[in-house]
Amino acid sequence: MHLDCPPIVGLNDYTEALFPRLICPVIFLPYCNLGCPFCINSSAVAPKGNQQMISVEEVLTHLKENNEDHICISGGEPCIYPGLPNLVDTLRTNGIRVGVSTNGTKPIMLRTLVEKHDLAFVAMDIKCSVMNYAKTATLLGGTYTPNEFASDVMTSLLFLLSVDPKEVSIEFRTTLYPPLVNDLDIRWIGKLLGKDASWVLQQFRSTADLLGGSVAAAVKPYEQAEVDRLLSLAKKMVPNTNLRWI
């Protein structure tokens, strides 16, 4: 592992969930500062003690052997690592365009990556209306107060909205997890993002390995008719809104 680069616990050959209109590899960094019950990356968020790490050299070899020149960094939450810029720079100096997926809770790191380390793409989750403290409290697990969470996410969101899309592609994402996202949340987020943003609604999947365990797995996803209705509502405020199955 390169000195001062964060650990890597997973490498998938491709992801359709990050770089727009591009299928590319994705690496996963362990641990997260949130505990979203609907998270499908529980093995990265809470890795087992004996989980094998992947070196940066292995990642670079994989990319070279497969003629890949893009990669996404996901997690967990990549921005919790002070060494994340080192990883981004190592990939970039090897000719790789880098995207990062984030929950927006580390606005200083996010700004640093965008302004000083030449990210090509950022995907930021907006879990729900961040001013609804009763909802956001279910995500925090004692890591933040709801007020701190809302402040950090809003700072990141407003910064990304100010970024020139010709310089960095920006995508906002909201998972349609029924306990957290309803009409009011869609309206609040849509008005905040505005007509020029790129927004993806992700359909919640009920599976046995969600971070929220059996409680989250018991949640019934929205029926397709309700998904279509929420998507239509979102498009009225953010025309470039699309649906994705995660």
DSSP codes joined into one string, 86-140: HHHHHHHHTT-EEEEEE-S--HHHHHHHHHHS--SEEEEE--S-TT-HHHHHHHH
pLDDT digits (tens, 9 = 90+) for 113-161: 999 998 999 999 999 999 999 999 999 977 789 999 999 999 999 999 9
- Reduced to 3 states, what is the DSSP secondary structure of residue 245? strand
Mean pLDDT of 164-171: 92
And the tokens for 157?
């969101």
Q: Above pLDDT 70, what percent of the chain?
A: 94
pLDDT on residue 1 = 47
Q: Model's pTM, two decimal places?
A: 0.93
pLDDT band at 43 (very low <50, low <70, confident <90, very high): confident
| Mean pLDDT along residues 203-232 | 93
Over range 56-70, report the average pLDDT.
94
Domain boundaries, the chain: 10-173+195-201
**Rounded to the nearest 10 degrees, what angle do helices 84-93 and 56-65 cross at?**
30
Q: What is the mean pLDDT of the chain?
A: 91
**Does residue 57 carry a pLDDT above 80?**
yes
pLDDT band at 46 (very low <50, low <70, confident <90, very high): confident
Question: Of residues 153 and 165, which shows the higher confidence score?
Answer: 153
Query: Above 80 in pLDDT, residue 50?
Result: no
**Between β-strands 10-15 and 24-28, what pairing exists: parallel, antiparallel or unpaired?**
antiparallel
pLDDT tens digits for range 185-215: 999 999 999 999 999 999 998 888 898 889 9
Q: pLDDT confidence of 178, banded at 50, 70, 90?
A: very high
Q: Which CATH superfamily is domain 10-173+195-201 in?
A: Aldolase class I (3.20.20.70)
